[in-house]
Amino acid sequence: MTLQTKADTSLTPTSTEPLRIGTRGSPLALAQAHELRARLMVAHDLSEDCFAIDVISTAGDRIQDRALNELGGKGLFTEEIEDRLLSGDLDLAVHSSKDMPTVLPDGLELSTILLREDPTDAFLSHKADSLEKLPLGAVVGSASLRRQAMIKHLRPDLKLVNLRGNIETRIRKLADGEVDATLLAAAGLNRLGLAHHITTRLAVDTFLPAAGQGAVCVEVCSNAAAIKSFLAPIHHRETGLCLLAERAFLRELDGSCRTPIAAFAMMEDDVMAFRGMVLSTDGQESYEVTRTLAAPDETTAVDLGTQAGKSIRAQAGDEFLSAIANSLLVLETR
């Protein structure tokens, strides 16, 4: 059962009635749940036993022999957890922001965003020190349509295979020679203490990240006022504003795992700089947009992302967007 609250405005978890945190069971998902718990322990001066981490298996975790774009997209990593939230079995859920669908189930919302980690993509290889220096026809493994399209855009000669599994599994497959290189989120490697495997980080101005990459988000029931109040001290405002812009961009373009879309916003001196991109699955056609916004708030951040998406739609045309959304890039799975 979820926590009982006083007048639904405050709560104090205890060892007998802990705050129930839902998460996937991968090492990275657990690391993120532990980070969230640690931040809440410090913010509220509570002990570890005031929190219970519930591991939930999702379809995206169980099905490893097919590409995500063949299976239906990002909801595969969230549906079972969201069902438990709505049923009251969980108080909140912690996710990688880049895995979240742009439209959430009725009654749920993202209330809290943690300080963003390194947003870049990391290049891992034992054959070359950069993507550009890989041998002609080298095999690169990636499960991300965005990464596949951007790799093809930069190096159309490379052979791409669909590399599924958690971070450790992909590193092992690289070490075993199943692929010559792979790309992973630098944030995940950092959180797991695996940054020593990184050959080089890809600069965001040449290899644009996925929307939300590096940011951890917390999902709650929309009517859970006490839970949202409890989480408020650990919310990172600037990361939250950037995520609003990036997700609005995705939403305007109907972004999912079926569409190679990249988006990244950053704040400096209270000015948001935003860049978004959409590519064809073969990487040979792409459209970009940049925007800046001074002193953003939640409303203007969403509007920036929405308008950026409309700009891309005007450039590319609905026919192009529909074509890439309905296409499947079928790759050998490893």
- 4 pLDDT more than 50: no
- 319 pLDDT more than 70: yes
User: Which pLDDT score, from 0 to 100, does residue 73 have?
Assistant: 55
Q: Cβ(19)–Cβ(40) under 8 Å?
A: yes
User: Which pLDDT score, from 0 to 100, does residue 330 have?
Assistant: 56
**Separation of alpha carbons 42 and 37, rounded Å:** 9
Asked whether the domain spanning 121-208 has the same topology as the one spanning 1-114+216-235, the reply is yes
pLDDT tens digits, 195-232:
999 999 999 999 999 999 999 999 999 999 999 999 99
pLDDT tens digits, 96-127:
999 899 999 999 999 999 999 999 999 999 99
**Domain ranges within the chain, ordered by starting residue:** 1-114+216-235, 121-208, 237-327
Record the tokens describing residue 283, joined without a space.
Answer: 């990487």
Q: Of how many residues is the chain composed?
A: 334
**Separation of alpha carbons 8 and 58, rounded Å:** 30
Residues involved in catalysis: 99
- 2 pLDDT more than 70: no
Would you state the CATH architecture of domain 1-114+216-235?
3-Layer(aba) Sandwich (3.40)
Instruction: Report DSSP letters for 304-319, one per residue.
Output: HHHHHHHHHHHHH-HH
- Per-residue pLDDT, averaged over 20-30, amounts to 96
More confident residue, 307 or 164: 307
Location of structure tokens 């990240």? 209
- 130 pLDDT more than 80: yes
| pLDDT band of 254, cuts 50, 70, 90 | confident
In 114-211, at which residue ranges do the beta strands (DSSP E only) sit? 121-125, 139-141, 159-161, 181-185, 200-202
User: Which pLDDT score, from 0 to 100, does residue 329 have?
Assistant: 59
- Per-residue pLDDT, averaged over 4-18, amounts to 72
User: Which pLDDT score, from 0 to 100, does residue 321 have?
Assistant: 86
- Per-residue pLDDT, averaged over 81-108, amounts to 95
Phi then psi dihedrals of residue 55, to 5 deg:
-90, 130
pTM: 0.91
Mean confidence (pLDDT) of the chain:
91
| pLDDT band of 333, cuts 50, 70, 90 | low
More confident residue, 67 or 286: 286
Give the CATH H-level superfamily of domain 121-208.
Periplasmic binding protein-like II (3.40.190.10)
User: Which pLDDT score, from 0 to 100, does residue 271 have?
Assistant: 98
| pLDDT band of 5, cuts 50, 70, 90 | very low
In angstroms, what CA-CA distances link 222 with 33, 91, 225, 246?
A: 20, 11, 8, 21
Host H or E run for residue 92: strand 92-96
- List the CATH code of the domain at 237-327: 3.30.160.40
